[in-house]
Structure 1
Amino acid sequence: MCSWKCSLSPGIGGTSVGTKLDPRAPTPVSAAQPLTQTHPCRHPNMASTHEEEPHAEDTADHDAHIYEEVMLCERMEHSQRLAVEELITTEASYVHNLQLCLSDIRAHLEKKQLPGLDLEGLFSNIDDILHVSRRFLRGLQDTTTQEHEQLLSISTLFQEFKEEMEMVYKIYCASYEHALLLVESYRKDPRLQEEIMDTLNATVPHTSASDLSFFLVMPVQRVTKYPLLLGKILENTPANTSTHSALAAAVRAMTQVNANINEYKRRREVATKYNKAEQLTLRDRFARLNPHSIAKKTTRLSRLLMHEAGIVAKTEDKEYDDLEERFQSVASCVTALKENMASYLKHLEAFLLPTPHKCELQMEEGPAQQYRRLAEHLHGTVFPEFRRRLDRLVWQPLCSLAEMLVGPQQLVKKRLDKLLDYEEIQERKRETGSVTYDEEAAMNTYLAINALLVAELPRFNQGAMQLLRQILGSFIVLQEDLAAEVLHEANKELEQMPHGHMPLPAFWRMVEDTLQQSGIQLRTFIQAFETVTPNPVPQPLNPAEERKVRSLVSKHGPDKLYQVTSNVSGSKDMDLTLQRGQIVALLQSVDTKGNTGRWLVDAGGPRGFVPASKLQPYSPGPSQQPSMKTSALEIGTEGRRHSYVPPEAPKPQAATFTPAFQVVAGFSFTARSPQELTLQAGQPVVVLEPHDKKGSTEWSLVEVNGQRGYVPSSYLLTVPVQEPVGWSLPV
């Protein structure tokens, strides 16, 4: 504590006055020497600069004045000591109440796990406040051992903690109003209010608290009381000392802390109004339209257009522009990662959907059974656990991060609107020299939003990037864990395989030899199969197809005809869509880009490109060249097609064979007009024309049991004859 000794030099009579005088009676003062005062409370009249001896009555008055000065110093010292004690004792009580609030009240409510109780919204960052307050209290208590430097130490302590206090208290004070709204809503819920009161009565019955607001208001009250407590100490400190200036600086620092907290709270209130994304229907949007809003939006739009046209200059803010660019980059990364992760999870679910391992295999133990057991273990344990960890460690944090971006994104958009208003008002102010109250409020709104974004975006960007890196790191680790676990399980099964212990080069040589032997056996079988296979049976063409083939032969010649080996679905411009078995004429064996894999063909009307791999040469019989009668027959042996040319004869003999393919009705159809024909499912039909009179392929002219009519083309199927005659499989 600062020394309050009033050391007086020898006075009249040679007697010296001590530090403290007895308040009951004044101490006699010697008249031999003049009085001088070295105490900071010194009054100019307490010492004489002259050597002459004063009168007796003047000496008595002077003694009384000295006594009053000393008593004043003692009263100031006493008040100062009480103010310091109040600062330390109230800080200790405050820290104790915070500990009760966290360790008892909040912990008790957490154990109850009450639905609808938002503990994070109630207590905010009170943990951070308690951490700072504990350290600050230890610093205050350490100053009690520094008698002569205590006030200087207290001043220095406030200067050291002012930034930390501002950081933690501004967050709490900004969310305090929300906490009060929660308390009020819980008070209206009898169930929650009863549980809260039971907690208060069980943990802090001595406080007689009626609700949680008794404890929630303490941090708000404490931070506003620091300047008052320091000011009380300052009032009882002499003005012409270094201690006084240090205390005054501490008072100014804590006053500025409170001012900054209030300004931050005001900015947050402005931002809260705009950072919520509203889901408005079209009707709601029209309901909000009024002359004022239309005029405001028109002014903004015209201002924006003038910016883009270069008519007026934009307000440049390099610091904010850099922060916004980085924020938009982070937001873009989060959005892209969320979309990719959603696609990954979708494909993972599709991968886990088939369960072939659940099928019982009718075979003894062997590689197939081992694979079934491995697949069953992977699908039953490894992959589901990977899916759960992926959801908990990657997907949920990623969704939370994406939700965190919504508020700042809305605020960034609103800042642009307010900036346009701000520029318009500034221009009007330069012209008229004044602004209205509403215009001043609009300008302050822009300044508040801009200041808040400049202050908060750096921390937000840093936190978002850190969380994004953690999410990506978690995803990488999960992939590594999955690969390691699958490899471990596969190695356990591999050890039981017949060739599990074979060196890898030897294993691959064995695989190559096995595949080579299997290929030789397959080629031998194909040769034997072709040897015993009789010539294919020609399939008669319908009249419409015959006319088309005649037209193609007359235009391009028989050597240009090709047959489609499988259905072709055009996917590019100029591509044709053809059915298997159709006859086309080759026009050019390359496409416009020189690609020999796409040929330009004539399909008897439309022309376009088809894959060359789906065409094979077609040789019409002699009867088809002048007058087409038969066509190539497509057989289903290894995807090969054969064109059969019957030998020339004066009179062709009647066929005594059954066709390899026939057209049947795939579904039953009931005629609805005289032009249509009724079909039964499975009934054989003869296709006369694969289109109607208008050329539409949706209807086909068919003949059944001597009757003709139109049926839907989609109802017809081309199927092989069940038991073709003329050949049998080799034995």
Structure 2
Amino acid sequence: RCAEQLQGRTQSWDLGSLLIKPVQRVLKYPLLLKELSSITPPDDLDHENLITATIEIQKVADHINEIKRRKDIVERIVGDKKKTEMNVVKAHRIRQVTGLAAEATQDTIFDTLYQKFEDQQELARQLARDIQTWVRQVKDNFDNLLEFATSLEEVYSSFGGVRVRSMNQIKEFTKLASNFRMVISRELDTMIYAYTYAKIEGFLAVFENPTQVINKRGQKLLDYDRVRGIKARGDIPDKTLQESADMYVSINAQLVEELPLLFNLTRQYFDIIVGDLAMVQTRFYEMTCREWNKLMQHLRQDPNDNRDNSSFDAIIANYQREMNNHVQPLIDDIMPLNKEQWKMILANRGTMMDLGGTTDDDHSKVTTPSQNDDFSNSRSQGYSESSNNNNNNNNLAEPAFECVVIHDYLEPSMEALSVRKGDVIQVWVEDEDEQGLQGAWLYASISVGHSEHFGWVPSQFCRRL
């Protein structure tokens, strides 16, 4: 509005000229006061005050000129990218070795600021790497969930395998896993880039111009050290070299003055980035919980169940209730195709003698060839269940042969024997696998401390001694 009002009223002044006038006026005050003091008699009461005012206003003018000079130097540096910091370091080493430069100038204040300058950038880069790791882990979890759901659906829908009443629930679970992998993962990528990656890129961009000024300071520091070395020898440096050394003083002073201001702003900037990241994670987990709740509402038999589930005991009780209502019927509905083989597996585990169930006490027993009647009858072909070494007719009194384990076999099932590479085991019985391959499985034992452990081991994991 001011520029519009000026049009037609004057051809001498524009808005820029008017705005710069106060700055120019300050620089004219020293001349005015000097003239006043020169024409004021020394015995006048104002003469001493005029001298003091002249000195002080000259300091103000010098300060303004120095700041202006620094700004002009920095503006020229920002656009100058010809020399690299590596070339500066090499040149400095050459000059020091040849004696053309004095010992490097040490500025502890600047060194401290520069270390903080580098630390802030590395902090932002590390945050970006941590975010990438978190996103990758989330996607890996979604991939594993989808793979599990797909495998689960294949198992329960395969012909001749296991029959289950409700395939719809398994299909809903697979649909949820696929939605997590595609929709929510894509939404997470969008939010992460918009609210964190873009801001981190902007954060690092703030440091680009100061980095150029710092590099230029390093270049001018070489000339500053050269000037010191020349003066130390009693010589006078040339004008160009002296001006370059003076530029170092100006640049260094500007950096020491403005870097703390930069750190204060970048610290606020970084707090904003962290706050946005927390917001993204909150939204993401809210979406995840919302999708899970949709599935739970679909699977829950009583959708109007509003009981308090906040306490630890309530969570356990709800878990047990859900297991009894949903999982146990599915387990009870499993029908093995080969019941005789199923019985034999249960017998080998030593946990059940029939399909009637298990008890906690059964799980604490250690199965040996002499303790399991079903195993002795179906696998040992008439071997006596007694382990008395004095009975020569007892074929299980001694193992058939020994093997050394060549690969780790760490199977958590009850009927398996977990062994590690290098273990020596005693083999009691060789058994066939489901394809009828003889000797594919070995019923073996291994001594651990004062106890003996028995179980099945694949023959390909062992070498006979």
Shorter-chain TM-score: what band?
Answer: 0.5 to 0.7
CA deviations on 1:319-345 (whole Å, 9 max, x unpaired) are: 223222322222221221233334445
Aligned to 1:482: 284
User: Match of 2:116?
Assistant: 326
Aligned to 1:223: 23
Residue 112 of structure 2 aligns with an amino acid whose one-letter code is D
Q: Hey, what does 1:560 align to over in structure 2?
A: 403
Give the aligned partner of residue 453 of structure 2.
none
Residues 326 and 280 (structure 1), Cα distance of their counterparts in 2 relative to 1, 3 Å cut: closer
Whether the 8 Å CA contact 2:199–2:273 is kept in 1: the answer is yes
Q: For 1:660-686, what per-residue CA distance to the aligned partner results, in whole angstroms no more than 9, with x for missing partners? A: xxxxxxxxxxxxxxxxxxxxxxxxxxx
Q: Does 1:425 align with 2:227?
A: yes
C-alpha change, 1:447 and 1:617, in structure 2 (3 Å) is: farther
2:74 maps to which of 262, 271, 277: 271
Q: Map residues 407-556 of structure 1 onto 2, 5 A cutoff.
A: 407-488=209-290, 490-491=292-293, 494-495=296-297, 497-500=300-303, 501=305, 504-513=315-324, 528-529=340-341
Q: In the superposition, relative to structure 1, how do residues 407 and 564 fare at CA in structure 2: closer, same or farther (>3 Å)?
A: same
Deviation at 1:509, TM superposition (A): 1.3
Q: Is the contact made by 1:564 and 1:616 (CA closer than 8 Å) also made in structure 2? A: no
- The root-mean-square deviation of aligned C-alpha atoms, in Å, is 5.7
1:641 equivalent in structure 2:
440
In the superposition, relative to structure 1, how do residues 479 and 252 fare at CA in structure 2: closer, same or farther (>3 Å)? Answer: farther
Contact 1:398–1:471, Cα closer than 8 Å, also in 2: yes
| Partner secondary structure for residue 315 of structure 1 | coil
Equivalent residue for 2:7? Answer: 206
* Residue aligning to 1:726: none
Distance (Å, rounded) in 1 between the aligned partners of 2:47 and 2:168: 91
Q: Tell me: CA distance 1:451–1:226, structure 2 relative to 1, closer, same or farther (3 Å).
A: closer
Measure how far apart 1:619 and its partner are: 9.3
Query: Unaligned stretches of 5+ in structure 1?
Result: 1-95, 101-202, 307-311, 536-556, 567-595, 601-611, 622-631, 645-731
Contact 1:276 1:406 in 2 (8 A): no
**Secondary structure of 1:560's match?**
strand
The answer to whether the 8 Å contact 1:234/1:248 transfers is no
Counterpart contact for 1:558–1:620, Cα < 8 Å: no
Cα distance change on mapping 1:620 and 1:382 into 2, 3 Å = closer
Contact 1:422/1:442 (<8 A) preserved: yes
Distance 1:268 1:381 in 2: 51
Residue aligned with 1:498, SS:
coil
Per-residue deviation, residues 485-518 of structure 1 (Å, max 9, x unmatched): 5435544664553245265443211344465676
Code of the residue aligned with 2:7 in structure 1: it is H
Distance 1:472 1:447, change over 3 A: same
Corresponding letter in the other structure for 1:474:
D
What's the CA shift string for 1:161-193, capped at 9, x where partnerless? xxxxxxxxxxxxxxxxxxxxxxxxxxxxxxxxx
CA contact (8 A) 1:415 1:446 kept: yes
CA distance in 2, matches of 1:329, 1:229: 45
Aligned residue number for residue 128 of structure 2: 338
In structure 2, relative to structure 1, the CA distance for the partners of 1:235 and 1:454 (3 Å cut) is same
* Structure ranking higher on relative contact order (CA contacts 8 Å, 6+ apart): 2
- Partner amino acid, structure 2, of 1:390: I
Structure 2 Cα separation of the partners of residues 278 and 619 of structure 1 = 79
8 Å contact 2:427–2:442 — kept in the other structure? yes
Task: Return the alpha-carbon distance in structure 1 between the equivalents of residues 82 and 440 of structure 2.
Answer: 62
The amino acid of 1:418's aligned partner reads: K
Relative to structure 1, is the Cα distance of residues 491 and 243 closer, same or farther in structure 2, using a 3 angstrom cutoff?
Answer: farther
CA–CA distance in structure 2, aligned partners of residues 277 and 620 of structure 1: 83
CA change 1:466–1:442 in 2 (3 A) is same
Query: Which letter maps to 2:341?
Result: F
Structure 2 distance, partners of 1:365, 1:518, is 11
Q: CA–CA distance in 2 between the matches of 1:322 and 1:442?
A: 24
CA separation in 2, counterparts of 1:387 and 1:209? 58
Work out the CA distance in 1 between the residues paired with 2:166 and 2:343.
38
Contact 1:499 1:507 in 2 (8 A): no
What amino acid sits opposite 1:477 in the alignment? M
Rounded to whole Å, the distance in 2 between the matches of 1:348 and 1:277 is 44
- In 2, the alpha carbon distance for the partners of 1:280 and 1:318 equals 25
CA separation in 1, counterparts of 2:9 and 2:401?
A: 108
Deviation of 1:395 (Å): 1.6
Alignment of 1:51-130 (within 5 A): 97=2, 100=3
SS at match of 1:599: coil
Q: CA deviation at 1:265?
A: 3.4
Q: Aligned pair 1:298/2:94, yes or no?
A: yes
In 2 relative to 1, CA 348–512 (structure 1 residues): closer, same or farther, beyond 3 Å? closer
For 1:564 and 1:522, how far apart are their aligned partners in 2?
Answer: 34
Out of 257, 260, 269, the position equivalent to 2:63 is: 260
Q: Which deviates further from its counterpart, 494-503 or 272-281?
A: 272-281
Distance 1:372 1:218 in 2: 73
2:291 and 2:96 mapped to 1: Cα distance?
65
Deviation string, structure 1 residues 97-131 (Cα, Å, up to 9, x no partner):
3xx5xxxxxxxxxxxxxxxxxxxxxxxxxxxxxxx
The 1:505–1:398 alpha-carbon spacing in structure 2 relative to 1, beyond 3 Å, is same
Output one character per residue of 1:468-496: Cα deviation in whole Å (capped at 9) or x when no partner: 12211221132223333543554466455
CA distance in 2, matches of 1:432, 1:396: 56
Change (3 A) 1:429 1:420: same
- Any conservation in 2 of the 1:563–1:618 contact (CA below 8 Å)? no
- Structure 1 residue 354: Cα displacement: 10
- Structure 1 residues 459 and 226: alpha-carbon distance in aligned structure 2, compared to 1, 3 A threshold: same
Q: Distance in 2 between matches of 1:297 and 1:269?
A: 29
Deviations 1:240-289 (A, max 9, x none): 6779959984x8777655543432333234334545695999xxx9xx99
Larger radius of gyration: 1
Compute the displacement of 1:456 (Å). Answer: 1.1
Write the distance in 2 (CA, Å) between the matches of 1:414 and 1:451.
Answer: 13
| Equivalent AA in structure 1 for residue 94 of structure 2 | T
Q: Runs of 5+ in structure 2 lacking a partner?
A: 158-164, 310-314, 346-377, 380-399, 410-417, 444-465
Which shifted more, 412-421 or 391-400? 412-421
Contact 1:561/1:619 (8 A) holds in 2: no
Moved more, 345-354 or 400-409: 345-354
Q: Tell me how far 1:406 sits from its aligned partner.
A: 2.8
Structure 1 residues 373, 527: CA separation in 2 closer, same or farther (over 3 Å shift)?
A: closer
Distance 1:490 1:261 in 2: 65
SS of 1:559's partner is strand
Cα distance in structure 2, aligned partners of 1:458 and 1:296: 28
Q: How far apart, in 2, do the equivalents of 1:597 and 1:298 lie? A: 65
Aligned residue for 1:317? 107
- The answer on 1:599 being equivalent to 2:421 is yes
In 1: Cα distance, 2:251 partner to 2:330 partner: 76
